[in-house]
Amino acid sequence: GAVVSQHPSRVICKSGTSVKIECRSLDFQATTMFWYRQFPKQSLMLMATSNEGSKATYEQGVEKDKFLINHASLTLSTLTVTSAHPEDSSFYICSASPSASGWGEQFFGPGTRLTVL
Amino acid sequence: DAKTTQPTSMDCAEGRAANLPCNHSTISGNEYVYWYRQIHSQGPQYIIHGLKNNETNEMASLIITEDRKSSTLILPHATLRDTAVYYCWAGGTSYGKLTFGQGTILTVHP
């Protein structure tokens, strides 16, 4: 199956700093990638849709100025958590799909665990 | 997307079949049923999907009722590594946008 990677897998930062998370599709191109957030013991919550070459689409309640998304190429999307605070501590996961697999078969990255002190 | 309802948790003995139900009574005619699972602290993993016919792959079987209002994911010989949260999703209009419910926590016991 298709492979999606994320970097870093784990990051600890001080409150007020910015953190960038990368999501890469390793063996396919993805014009669209998705970013999710998951708090402990909860389900995944879709944050935004990342579109290559255009602005991301954010879900209701997600601050676009706080969670900056850049989809610079067909294999890379980045999520930057700006001025991170402890409440931003969460498990961030991206997904993408090769168009030939159909849009419903999403391949997920391994996730990035962010801890803000 | 159709609203889905799944039991909160289920247990299964190792080596036995695990049957995970999902109710999606509001599913429309062009919406597929997808199953994913998430092992602790990992990203979700696609398992299987179907429209109206039963489907089988190397991981599982998917049984969809004739009226398509519910489905069952079957892991034929559960192993300890199948312990995970299993998510059922039914949709067809939002390209790639998956909205996850709470899923079913499946615990496979030795």
- For residue A25, the model assigns a pLDDT of 94
How large is the average pLDDT for residues A81-97? 95
Interval A51-66: pLDDT, tens: 888 889 999 999 999 9
The answer to whether A5 and A24 are in contact (CB under 8 A) is yes
Q: Do A43 and B100 touch (CB under 8 A)?
A: yes
Residue in B6, B1, B86 with CA at minimum distance from that of residue B46: B86
**A86 pLDDT tier (thresholds 50, 70, 90):** very high
Mean pLDDT of chain A: 92
Q: How far apart are CA B7 and CA B9, in angstroms?
A: 6
Residue in B47, B52, B49, B51 with CA at minimum distance from that of residue B18: B47
Measured between CB atoms, which of A32, A91, A105 is closest to B46?
Answer: A105
Interval B75-97: pLDDT, tens: 999 999 999 999 999 887 556 67
Q: What is the mean pLDDT of each run of 10 residues along chain B (110 residues)?
A: 92 97 91 93 93 94 96 97 95 72 95
- For residue A66, the model assigns a pLDDT of 96
What percent of chain B stands above pLDDT 70? 96
The answer to whether B49 and B23 are in contact (CB under 8 A) is no
The helix/strand/coil state of B59 is: coil
Residue in A37, A39, A44 with CA at minimum distance from that of residue A66: A37
Q: Is 60 exceeded by the pLDDT of residue A4?
A: yes
- For residue B50, the model assigns a pLDDT of 93
Q: If you write DSSP's letter for every residue of B61-99 in order, what string do you get? A: EEEE-TTSSEEEEEETT--GGG-EEEEEEEESSSTT---
Task: Check whether the bond before A86 is cis (ω within 30° of 0).
Answer: no
Q: Which residues of B touch A103 (CB under 8 A)?
A: 95-96
Question: Which residues have a Cβ under 8 Å from the Cβ of B38 and sit 6 or more positions away?
Answer: A44, B44, B45, B84, B85, B87, B103
- For residue A103, the model assigns a pLDDT of 64
User: Which 3-state string (H, E, C) describes A74-102?
Assistant: CCEEEEEECCCCHHHCEEEEEEECCHHHC
Q: Is 80 exceeded by the pLDDT of residue A32?
A: yes
- For residue B94, the model assigns a pLDDT of 59
Question: Would an 8 Å CB–CB cutoff place A21 in contact with chain B?
Answer: no
Q: Is 60 exceeded by the pLDDT of residue A20?
A: yes
Measured between CB atoms, which of B45, B49, B101 is closest to A43?
Answer: B101
Residue B95 tokens read as 């390209």
Q: How far apart are CA A79 and CA B32, in angstroms?
A: 29
